[in-house]
Structures are given as C-alpha cells and as structure tokens.
Amino acid sequence: MIIFKSKSKLDDGSGTKNRFVQTALEGTLAIVLAIQGKDSLLSSLGQGLEIHVLADNDFYSQRTSLAARNLAPTLESLNSIPPFLPQGCPITKVHKTGLGSSASLITSLVSALLLHFGAIPSDSLSSNASSDQGRELAHNVAQYVHCLAQGKVGSGFDVSSAVFGSQVYQRFEPVVIAEIMQGNPSASTLLSTLSPSNKAWNHVVSPFKLPPLTRIMLADVDSGSDTPSMVGSVLKWKKIEPTVSDQLWEGLDKCNRGLGDIINRLSQKYQEDKAGYASTVDKLTREAGDEWERHSPIEALEVTAAQLFGNTRRLTKSIRDGMRAMGKSSGVPIEPPEQTQLLDACCALPGVVGGGVPGAGGYDAIWLLVLQPQDEALACSVVSSVEKLWQGWTGMSVSPLLATESLERGARKESIEGIPGLDAALKGSA
C-alpha cells in the first residue's frame, strides 16, 4: 500500500538505506524521465515526495503483537488486531512470512509512481482499463527493478502475481533486461527495453483460481528464510550440475502444469454438475486424504470430481518429492525435514487436499489447500482441525495467516476510505 504526500526518505528508521525502496525510486523515475521529459518530471515533483509504505499484517509475523495482547496464535486472534501494525524494529530485523513482501513493495511503489507522474493512463490499474499497456509497463518496470534490487533474475512470479493477480505464469527470457541490468542505461535504451511493445517480453500469464468449495490456508513458521540467498544457491547448483538439475526442473514443471490443469478441470466439473460436485466435496471432507486416491485409478475412463481431487493430492505429493530431491541435490533446505513432518501431519487430516512450502521454500511458511463444503459446521471443522494441530505442534512454532484467495486483478488504485484501518494507520505514521 503506497500513499503519496510530499518529500522523500529512503532509510528504514535505523539510518540504513532500504535498497528495495531506493532501487524502485531510481528505476521508476528514470523511466518516467524517459517518457515524460525533464520539465514534466520536475514540475510533478514540486517540493518532493513523502511516501508512506504500509504492509498488510500477513507479510510479517504477528507473534510479538499477539503475545503483547495475551492472545493465542489463531485466526480469531489475528482478526482482532488492527491492520497495518508497525513492526517496531528496522526492516532487517523483521520476521517475514514468505508471501513476497519485497515484490509487493516494489510493484506497488513502481505502479504508484507511474500513476502519480502520469507515465501511464489513470485508468491503467482499473478493471475496465481501455488498454493493457499501462499495466504491462508497470509489470516490466517492476520486474527490472526487483531484479536489480536482488542482484539477479529470479522466477518473476511474485512480481507478476502482484501486477496481474492469480495466474499460471511462464517467465520472460532474462536476456530481455540483460543490457539494462549492467547499469546506467541511456534513456532511449531503458524506454525501448521496458516498453510493452518490446516483443522480447515473452512472459505468459493465464487466468487461474482455486477449485470451488476449497480454500487456501497459510501458516507462518519459526523464522523467515533469506530468499535471494536460497535462490542464488539453487541457480549456482543448476550451473554446476546441469544434467541433474534439468531433469528435476523438467519433472517439477510437468507436475506443476498437471496440477494447474486438474484444478481448472475441477472448476469445469463444478459448472457441469454443481450438486454432484458439492456432494463429492461433502463426502471427501469426512475422509482422510490418503483414502481419496482409491477414487483416482489410472485406468479410469470417466473422470469424476472425486478422481480429480485424488489426482490433485497425488500431484501435490509429487511436487513435494521433487522439491525435496532438488533441495538434497543442491544443498539448499527447500523443504526442510521439520517442514516435511509438519506438512505430513497436516495432509493426514480429513479435508486437507495437499500442501507445500511456498515460493523458494525454506522455513518461513507452509500452504494447505483444504475443502470447504457447503455445510458450514463441516467446513469449520476442517479449519479447526488444522488450527488445533498447528497450536499443539511442538517441533516448530506455527501461527496461521489470514490471507485468502483474491479474485481481484492484482495491482489496483484504491481509495483510503475503501480499506478498513488505512486512514487510522496513515494518521499514526504521519
């Protein structure tokens, strides 16, 4: 969440410059200069910029905030604390939850700057925009800035998700920004490279949403991982062991694509027979997940919703197997043993479809896909059983997150009045 006023400050409160904020400002102002020209930029700057950066509570662990209020780490407790809570420490000391906070920060700051300076049309981030060009430029600039800040080209998925919303994503070829990543590109080179009309931006974004009558559950685990460091180690291993890494990469890619296809087919099944689909979800919710796989024999000719859920479970297991194999081969704790034990216990609960470690993996979080039947009491029992397991888990400290599936189209312009708690948070940060 980015709010503009007047004057700019780049430190994190401890006198240390925030490289993500600084890189976003420098990179975006450079492209604004290339588009609008010097006179327009200086006129828009006026007396400077004052930028308020506010983060959703889920981006950072709220254990300390809950403990200070004598609250247990539950969804109910999290719903009771104010939104946009200050962390009370420098950003370098904050415990992240692995939801892509740096990509979200950069995407929102880049998008806000482009809008503020008129470098993209004012309706660019609305659902009824006259063109996708403004959103595409925001994506390209944010990807470039995020890569600069991290010192490498990553998956790009976190930035793309922040710009476009839920999706199946295929990254652009890194060569598109190779020249401008070297530093100090000319205005013309920067503009031609980042322009939406540059066909070298060959990323693919396909619409995606969770199957009907399901929900995502996320948990914050002990301590956040250093994602750039982990990604860097995996990429280094990939260069050293190209044959092994390519085999694992291709296997994971096949499983991920298969999972996306099955989830889309579940949505189709729901549209074909809503009552039958709902009945299947109700039945499966009462069974342990391992029992579902009997519904999905390989030789089955007619594919039912039960079979698709069974195969969804199979594929989430295969993806976890591939992640662990990659972690073992690269020496990077992508799914550490502690996370494996926790996930296995979660996936054994009735109503849990599957789970895993999000993003680059590590110790910072887990995700679960769970069934949510139309029977409210039954749906609540699934969530409650997961929460109960998390609360009683002794191997690591596990705390739920409030995040749910968003059906919005990624980055968008909001009104202060439209976001609960935003006005109060702004007054508190002034």
Residues 6 or more apart in contact with residue 426 via CB below 8 angstroms = 3, 52, 54, 416
Give residue 46's pLDDT band: very low, low, confident or very high (50, 70, 90): confident
Taking alpha carbons only, the member of 231, 232, 239, 248 closest to residue 329 is 248
What pLDDT does 6 receive?
39
Give residue 12's pLDDT band: very low, low, confident or very high (50, 70, 90): low
Same domain, 70 and 34: yes
Distance CA 379, CA 43 (A): 56
What mean pLDDT is predicted for residues 177-194?
94
Same domain, 332 and 219: yes
What pLDDT does 77 receive?
95
Helix (H) or strand (E) holding 371, with range, is strand 365-371
Per residue in 235-253, pLDDT tens? Answer: 787 888 888 888 988 999 9
CB burial readout 91-118, b (16+ within 10 A) else e? beebbbbbbbbbbbbbbbbbbbbbbbbe
Distance CA 398, CA 220 (A): 6
Same domain, 196 and 286: no
What pLDDT does 38 receive?
92
Per residue in 268-313, pLDDT tens? Answer: 999 999 999 999 999 999 988 778 767 655 555 558 999 999 999 9
Give residue 8's pLDDT band: very low, low, confident or very high (50, 70, 90): very low
pLDDT at 86 over 80: yes
What pLDDT does 334 receive?
86
Residue length of the chain: 430
What pLDDT does 367 receive?
95
Same domain, 268 and 183: no
What pLDDT does 196 receive?
97
Per residue in 208-221, pLDDT tens? Answer: 999 999 999 999 88
What pLDDT does 430 receive?
58
Same domain, 294 and 424: no
pLDDT at 10 over 80: no
Same domain, 32 and 80: yes
What pLDDT does 1 receive?
59
Range of the domain at 292: 214-401
Same domain, 64 and 166: yes
Total domain count for the chain?
Answer: 2
Residues 6 or more apart in contact with residue 299 via CB below 8 angstroms = none
Per residue in 126-140, pLDDT tens? Answer: 988 889 999 999 999
The tokens for 425 are 């948070």
pLDDT at 11 over 70: no
149-153: long-range contacts at Cβ-Cβ below 8 A with a sequence spacing of 24 or more? Answer: 149/19, 149/20, 149/23, 149/24, 149/102, 149/106, 150/102, 150/228, 150/231, 151/228, 151/232, 152/228, 152/231, 152/232, 152/235, 153/177, 153/181
What pLDDT does 237 receive?
79
Strand partners, 215: 370
Taking alpha carbons only, the member of 181, 426, 386 closest to residue 285 is 386
% of the chain at pLDDT higher than 70: 92
% of the chain at pLDDT higher than 90: 60
Does the pTM surpass 0.75? The reply is yes
Same domain, 157 and 254: no
Same domain, 219 and 182: no
Strand partners, 287: none
Report how far apart the first and last C-alpha atoms of the chain are (Å, whole number). 15
Per residue in 326-383, pLDDT tens? Answer: 888 888 888 999 999 999 999 999 999 999 998 777 787 899 999 999 999 999 999 9
The domain spanning residue 341 has which CATH number? 3.30.70.890
Same domain, 250 and 172: no
Same domain, 181 and 304: no
Give residue 162's pLDDT band: very low, low, confident or very high (50, 70, 90): very high
Residues 6 or more apart in contact with residue 414 via CB below 8 angstroms = 1, 422
Residue carrying structure tokens 């039954």:
378
Same domain, 71 and 43: yes
Give residue 94's pLDDT band: very low, low, confident or very high (50, 70, 90): confident
Distance CA 357, CA 323 (A): 9
| Average pLDDT over the chain, rounded to an integer | 89
